[in-house]
Amino acid sequence: MDFELSKEQEMIRREVRKFAKKEIQPLAAALDEKEEFSPELTKKMGEIGLFGMFVSEMYGGQAMDYLSYIIAVEEIARVDGSQAATIAAGNSLGIGPLYYFGNESQKKKYLPKLCAGEGLWGFGLTEPTAGSDAGGSKTTAVQDGDDWVINGSKIFITNAACSMTLGVTVQTVTGSRPSGKPEYTCFIVEPDTPGFKAVPMHKKMMWRSSNTAELYFDKVRVPGENMLGQKGDGFHQMLKTLDGGRLSIGAMGLGGAQGAYELALKYAKERRQFDQPISKFQAVAFKLADCAMEIECARNLLYKACWLRNQNKPFAKEAAMGKLYCSEAMGRVVDRAVQIHGGYGLMKEYDVERFYRDQKLLDIGEGTSEIQRLVISRHIGC
């Protein structure tokens, strides 16, 4: 087995780390405090090629492998979860469905701007009454001549209500299958479509400088050409999208754990008690050792899932495992990191406090930890 990254992947890690430290780190705490999405930072991330990394060059992408993209998300998350969320959702949930399921006309119309970081795209799946039960969607689309009329709402949709939003992909119910189960179809909806409203959500505990929205569809009429793929393909598209999205959420957990660990290690070496650095005390040293071990395990699991995806091998089980383990490993790491900081770890002046808050979304978004365990249990034959 070869655990070596390619020279290109090492370069991506180095350059994205440098960018995150220079451009994001100085602004992260202030943006979090003000709960402010930054178009300027987003465009800068686009300028260095962080959008459309796995997309073909013919649509404006970078044509890189999926692990390279995951490394980039990891390095952004090492500094700030909010900006990593913008990148992860912008690629896996925004660009991904258009690239993998869109027709040529749709790809040529939307992907170049999205891959250049000139705009963002939302993926409308979660609803007020349909979260873990994604099949419980109630948003409908009814055909009227050559058009479709959409009614319903979505919630907790990333990148869907900011000045850079170019549109959303929305999953709808378009009828019933012979089995009696709902038939799902996805449609493209642009921001200025009559009856469509996107409202930013505020007062979040975490990812406070990431854009999150509620979406409302009141007799929203879209042409038939806005259908993504074929009628009835929506559920399949959703599952495939979430498989890839889980890898990027895993990368956020991995990167966040790495960042929190490094903050704790630095603090432990500088903080002195009883005439020596607290890192010399076994109680602290063992916490740091456990952090280092879990991060190493998380990285190996997540990278294996990416390798499987790159090799066009089945990776759904490993994606669920990677997302679950990386998310929960970050939870354990940030808990130890705050404990090592003591009272200072509870203060906003210390970045570890923000890492502690940002972690919790990882246990919930892109399928809760409970849903990941359900997915894994089905793959192992339970």
SS3 per-residue string spanning 144-169: ECCEEEEEEEEEEEECCCCCCEEEEE
Query: Which is nearest to 139 in space by CA: 174, 114, 88?
Result: 174
User: Which CATH superfamily includes the segment(s) 236-379?
Assistant: Butyryl-CoA Dehydrogenase, subunit A, domain 3 (1.20.140.10)
What average pLDDT does the segment 300-329 reach?
97
Let me know the angle formed at the C-alpha of 116 by 112 and 122, rounded to the nearest 5 degrees. Answer: 75
Q: 180: pLDDT confidence band, cut at 50, 70 and 90?
A: confident
Place of tokens 């929305």: 170
Backbone phi and psi for residue 141, each to the nearest 5 degrees, phi listed first: -135, 125
Which CATH code of 3.20.10.10, 3.40.50.300, 2.40.50.60, 1.10.540.10 fits the domain covering 7-120? 1.10.540.10
- State the pLDDT confidence band at 136, using cuts at 50, 70 and 90: confident
Active site residue 366: yes
Q: What is the pLDDT of residue 6?
A: 95
Count of all residues that appear for the chain in the document: 382
Q: How far is CA 64 from the centre of its chain?
A: 18
Give percent of the chain above pLDDT 90.
93
**Average confidence (pLDDT) over 225-248:** 94
- Rounded to whole angstroms, the Cα distance separating 370 from 95 reads 27
Contacts of 68 (CB under 8 A, 6+ apart): 8, 9, 12, 53, 54
Token pair in block for residue 173: 């119910």
User: The tokens 């799902």 sit on which residue?
Assistant: 184
Enumerate the domain spans of the chain: 7-120, 122-233, 236-379
- What tokens appear for 380 in the block? 């192992």
Confidence of residue 3 (pLDDT cuts 50, 70, 90): confident
pLDDT at 179 over 90: no
Q: Tell me the residue ranges of DSSP E strands in 234-360.
A: 272-273, 276-277
* Residue 298 to residue 106: CA distance in whole angstroms: 37
CATH top-level class for 122-233?
mainly beta
Report the candidate in 79, 93, 86, 96 with the shortest Cα–Cα distance to residue 16.
79
Q: ∠ at Cα 67 (66, 70), nearest 5°? A: 90
pLDDT of residue 178: 86
pLDDT for res 112: 98
158 pLDDT exceeds 90?
yes
Q: Where are the beta strands (DSSP E) in the chain?
A: 120-124, 140-144, 147-158, 165-176, 182-189, 196-200, 212-223, 227-228, 272-273, 276-277
Catalytic residue among 294, 318, 328, 366: 366
211, two tokens: 């854009």
247 with 306: CB under 8 angstroms?
Answer: yes
Reference 74, options 205, 277, 247; nearest CA is 247
Residue 131 has pLDDT above 90, yes or no: no
- Looking at the predicted structure, is the pLDDT value of residue 251 above 80? yes
Phi, psi for 342 (deg, rounded to 5): 65, -140
Strand-pair category, 182-189 with 165-176: antiparallel
Q: 159, 127, 122, 148: which is closest to 37 by C-alpha?
A: 159
